[in-house]
Structure 1
Amino acid sequence: MASVVPLRGLVIFLCLLHLCVQGIQGVNTVCLAKMTQYFYDKVQPKTKNGTDTQYALSIYLPPAHCVDRRANIENKFDDAQAAQVKALLNNHAKCELCTKPKNVIASRTVLTHDNKVEHSEHVLLYPVGKSLMDELLAKARHESCVVFYSYNSPCVETCLQSADNILEGLRNWINKRKGKMNAFVFQEIWQKDLDEDLETEFKRIDAIVPLYRCMRNSEEMKCRKCVENNVMDSFCLPNRK
């Protein structure tokens, strides 16, 4: 019986090591696909004519939800909570840790008090140090997985190249969670960026936070990491026909 305790300790150590490695290397793309499909089915806001519209959402979850494909996001963000977030977004309001678990923030693009357009990603990430993302991270447990989802890829002109770009906000996020499980996920390519040098711009994001794309194909969501060893996966770029 004396050998059982060390063996049990070894098993626990190996499990923790596995989660640690997953956190450094990235999340499971099958998990991200299930998560993104859920966001699309349950949260995706619509325009007045019923088409999908841009929004951003961030959520923190137990690490298993990002590495174990058997995990169900509904256990931490159920249908009623998702409907609550969707209703706010459809009314052009923000979810500021609005659900009971206080593990979700979300926003559409908004008009500021001086009638300037603030893109949804920027709404969640700024002002740095006092943002909704900072509030979310303050509540996230040390070992949590944090996923930032944007329906469209961040626009090049405003989100990545202007004085109001989101890169500092992304650095602020990662500086608070170095070596942890983090993922920036987008679904569609922003239509006005189809002729931009997206490979260069997406690599700038991935240099800060692991970038993934989840895309519906024949009603099935598929996800891939956009950059590996500085090589861009064409899955994350516009389809050139």
Structure 2
Amino acid sequence: MKFAVFLSGLLLLFLLPDWTESVEDDSVNINTLARIINFFEQNFKRVAAGDDYPLQYAIAINVPKDQCQQNFNLNTFLRKDRENAVEVKKAIDDDSNGLYEGQEPRELIAAGNRRVKIKKTYKIHSESLLLNPVDNSPMTNLLNKRKGDSCSVFYTFNSPCVQTCLDAKGPYNIINALKKWKEHDGIKAFVFKNFWEHDKKKDTKDLQTEFKQIAAHVPLFRCVSENECYACNGEGNTPIDADCLPPPTTTTPPEMINSEL
């Protein structure tokens, strides 16, 4: 019996490196992901003129797979687009278009918001600008530039809004685009940092349902600093992790209000 256990242990040790490599091949390294998102924030973050108030923007990349794993190399990461950071920010700050589609060989696309007016003026959000129309979007074109051993990351500063981006019946929803992205080979990560201001006070159960629409197609993450990223989970019956949801709002009971008067 001991001999059989010994042999089983040897077999496990023999297979473990290949198993570890296969897991690494299929998923983003979360510490590397934090560094990538921090790179976006350092180089492409939008701020309001005059007061540096952060503004919504989104970025997507499609890079060699090893750039999302432990051997991430900042010196070679997005070299061409990094050198054009001023052009990227100029393009996404222009709300008449709000779109940057990258230099060849294309590895990066980015968007701010686009102001349009039909019957009234409104904004098309950056997520929709990058992901629609589904079959000929900037994201589809970016993914077509590199297939197979690639890593595609979509980062939005604020979480996709429930009212438009995650409304499956709305004209600017991103759900069908996520289904399309799911078909692409390689590592994938959909990442956000903050919560869209109008969704912060929504019921947590509602946001669970909305965010699971993303996780059903691509892995969902929240990255809040260069050292802090969370895997949101949410696949199948798995709930969205608490770190990827706003803290529950608390209301003061009426009797407590009266006692303080």
Alignment TM-score, normalising by the size of structure 1: 0.83
Match of 1:171 among 165, 179, 184: 179
Aligned pair count reads 220
Q: Is the CA contact (8 Å cut-off) linking 1:110 and 1:120 kept in structure 2? A: yes
CA–CA distance in structure 2, aligned partners of residues 47 and 36 of structure 1:
20
> How many angstroms does 1:113 deviate by?
6.0
Structure 1 residue 237 corresponds to structure 2 residue 245 = yes
Per the alignment, residue 127 of structure 1 pairs with 133
After superposition, give the CA deviation of every residue in 1:52-81 in whole Å (9 maximum; x if it has no partner).
Answer: 11111100111111121x413441313313
Q: Is the CA contact (8 Å cut-off) linking 2:130 and 2:138 kept in structure 1? A: yes
Q: Is the CA contact (8 Å cut-off) linking 1:32 and 1:223 kept in structure 2? A: yes
Q: Is the CA contact (8 Å cut-off) linking 2:215 and 2:234 kept in structure 1? A: no
Structure 1 residue 27 corresponds to structure 2 residue 28 = yes
Structure 1 residue 89 corresponds to structure 2 residue 89 = no
> How many angstroms does 1:147 deviate by?
0.2
Alignment of 1:120-199 (within 5 A): 120-161=126-167, 162-164=169-171, 165-177=173-185, 180-196=186-202, 197-199=206-208
> Larger relative contact order (C-alpha < 8 A, sep ≥ 6)?
1
> How many angstroms does 1:239 deviate by?
2.6
- The letter for the 2-side match of 1:72 is N
Per the alignment, residue 225 of structure 1 pairs with 231
CA–CA distance in structure 2, aligned partners of residues 183 and 100 of structure 1:
23
- In terms of mean alpha carbon deviation, does 155-164 or 180-189 score higher? 155-164
Where has structure 1 moved over 4 Å in runs of 4 or more? 17-20
Q: Equivalent pairs: percent with the same residue? A: 34
Q: Is the CA contact (8 Å cut-off) linking 2:190 and 2:218 kept in structure 1? A: yes
CA–CA distance in structure 2, aligned partners of residues 181 and 67 of structure 1:
10
Per the alignment, residue 203 of structure 1 pairs with 212
For the residue of structure 1 that corresponds to 2:164, the secondary structure is: helix
After superposition, give the CA deviation of every residue in 1:124-144 in whole Å (9 maximum; x if it has no partner).
Answer: 111111111111011023210
Q: Which runs of no fewer than 5 residues in structure 2 stay unpaired? A: 1-13, 250-261
Q: Is the CA contact (8 Å cut-off) linking 2:216 and 2:234 kept in structure 1? A: no
- In terms of mean alpha carbon deviation, does 120-129 or 220-229 score higher? 220-229
Structure 1 residue 111 corresponds to structure 2 residue 115 = yes
CA–CA distance in structure 1, aligned partners of residues 230 and 146 of structure 2:
25
Alignment TM-score, normalising by the size of structure 2: 0.77
Q: Which has the larger radius of gyration?
A: 2
Q: Which runs of no fewer than 5 residues in structure 1 stay unpaired? A: 1-10
For the residue of structure 1 that corresponds to 2:223, the secondary structure is: strand
Structure 1 residue 61 corresponds to structure 2 residue 72 = no
For the residue of structure 1 that corresponds to 2:52, the secondary structure is: coil
CA–CA distance in structure 2, aligned partners of residues 18 and 112 of structure 1:
49
> How many angstroms does 1:45 deviate by?
1.1
Q: CA RMSD in A?
A: 2.2
> How many angstroms does 1:148 deviate by?
0.5
Q: Is the CA contact (8 Å cut-off) linking 2:212 and 2:234 kept in structure 1? A: no
- The letter for the 2-side match of 1:198 is L
> How many angstroms does 1:228 deviate by?
5.7
Q: Is the CA contact (8 Å cut-off) linking 1:36 and 1:221 kept in structure 2? A: no
